[in-house]
């Protein structure tokens, strides 16, 4: 369990919440589901009942060995150990109780991948960052709301996990709007390192010209993305 804590993962132990997540995922018999964080497999067999195929990846090889033994009868399940964010699978639905330490990586990775929709569980604090407005926004807020439609569907108390995290979680439904390029995501992150500067001065850092005196916090999400595209334009 110590190793799992280092990975930032806490095991969901509520069958009713697992069933809720799978039902909210709106999986059809033609869907390929990608799950990152197999864990103890509380979601995995439920996903297999709904989907054409489930691909489940966990960073802990021991948990994958355990899952292969326990779910050997599930013919539509592919289990793999490793970093799920480095895998190149084609999928239509994404479902995950995201490792807390990798939540930002996950959103940036999902923004670059083509898929229909998904349901994710994240720390409450991270969910608030994703949905933040105006001065509370981070780069990840802009990336998330540009790439996805995001809806909060439920709070989940920390006592529904083993070991219990220090903070409650939130279940979010995400629907893909647009795929983003890795360079654009990186540029938006860079823009936020200059958030106190005006657009005019930010563009100077990249040898570009502008007369706009607004600061990053005064721009809409789409304007920040457009600024990123302007920086990348040759």
Per-residue pLDDT of the chain (234 residues; tens, 9 = 90+): 334 444 456 899 999 999 999 999 999 999 999 999 999 999 999 999 999 999 999 999 999 999 999 999 999 999 999 999 999 999 999 999 988 888 999 999 999 999 999 999 999 999 999 999 878 899 999 999 999 999 999 999 999 999 898 999 999 999 999 999 999 999 999 999 998 899 999 999 888 888 899 999 999 999 999 999 999 997
188 and 90 in a single domain? The answer is no
Residues 172, 159 share a domain: yes
Residues 158 and 218 in one domain: no
Given this model, what pLDDT does residue 89 score? 95
CATH code at position 35: 3.40.50.150
Q: In this structure, are 14 and 111 located in the same domain?
A: yes
Q: Provide the domain limits for residue 195.
A: 184-232
pLDDT of residue 2: 36
Cα–Cα dist 43/132, whole Å: 29
Q: What element of type H or E holds 146?
A: helix 139-147
Residues 174 and 228 in one domain: no
Torsion of CA 209, 210, 211, 213, to 10 degrees: -120
pTM above 0.85, yes or no: yes
pLDDT at 180: 98
* Helix-then-strand count for the chain, H and E: 10, 9
Bond from prior residue into 163 cis (ω within 30 degrees of 0) = yes
Per-residue pLDDT, 1: 38
Q: Into how many domains does the chain fold?
A: 2
Asked whether residue 175 falls in the same domain as residue 196, the answer is: no
Cβ burial 81-100 (10 Å sphere, 16+ → b, else e)? beebbeeeeebbbbbbbbbb
Last residue of a domain, one of 163, 180, 197: 180
Query: 171 with 217, same domain?
Result: no
Residue after which a domain boundary falls, among 143, 164, 180: 180
Structure confidence by residue, pLDDT tens digits, 5-50: 444 568 999 999 999 999 999 999 999 999 999 999 999 999 999 9
Q: Give the Cα-Cα-Cα angle 87, 89, 91 (nearest 5 degrees).
A: 135
40 and 99 in a common domain: yes
Q: What confidence score (pLDDT) does residue 9 get? A: 64
- Same domain membership, residue 136 and residue 152: yes
Burial class (CB in 10 A: 0-12, 13-18, 19+), 208: middle
């Amino acid at each position: 369990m110590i190793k799992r804590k280092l990975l930032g993962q806490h095991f969901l132990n509520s069958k009713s919440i697992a069933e809720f997540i799978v039902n909210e995922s709106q999986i059809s018999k033609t869907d390929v589901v990608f799950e990152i964080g197999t864990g103890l497999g509380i979601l995995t067999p439920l996903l297999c009942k709904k989907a054409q195929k489930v691909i489940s990846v966990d960073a802990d090889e021991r948990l994958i060995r355990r899952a292969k033994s326990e779910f050997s009868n599930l013919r539509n399940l592919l289990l793999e150990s490793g970093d799920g964010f480095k895998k190149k699978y084609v999928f239509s639905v994404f479902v995950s109780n995201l490792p807390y330490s990798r939540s930002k990586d996950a959103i940036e990775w999902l923004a670059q991948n083509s898929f229909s929709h998904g349901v994710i569980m994240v720390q409450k604090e991270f969910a608030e960052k994703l949905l933040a407005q105006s001065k509370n926004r981070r780069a990840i807020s802009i990336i998330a709301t540009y790439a996805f439609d995001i809806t909060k569907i439920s709070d989940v108390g920390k006592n529904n996990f083993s070991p219990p995290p220090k903070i409650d979680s939130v279940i979010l439904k995400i629907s893909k709007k647009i795929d983003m390029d890795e360079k654009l995501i990186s540029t938006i992150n860079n823009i936020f390192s200059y958030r106190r500067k005006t657009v005019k001065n930010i563009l100077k850092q990249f040898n570009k010209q502008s007369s706009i005196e607004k600061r990053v916090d005064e721009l809409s999400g789409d304007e920040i993305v457009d600024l990123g595209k302007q920086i990348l334009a040759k």
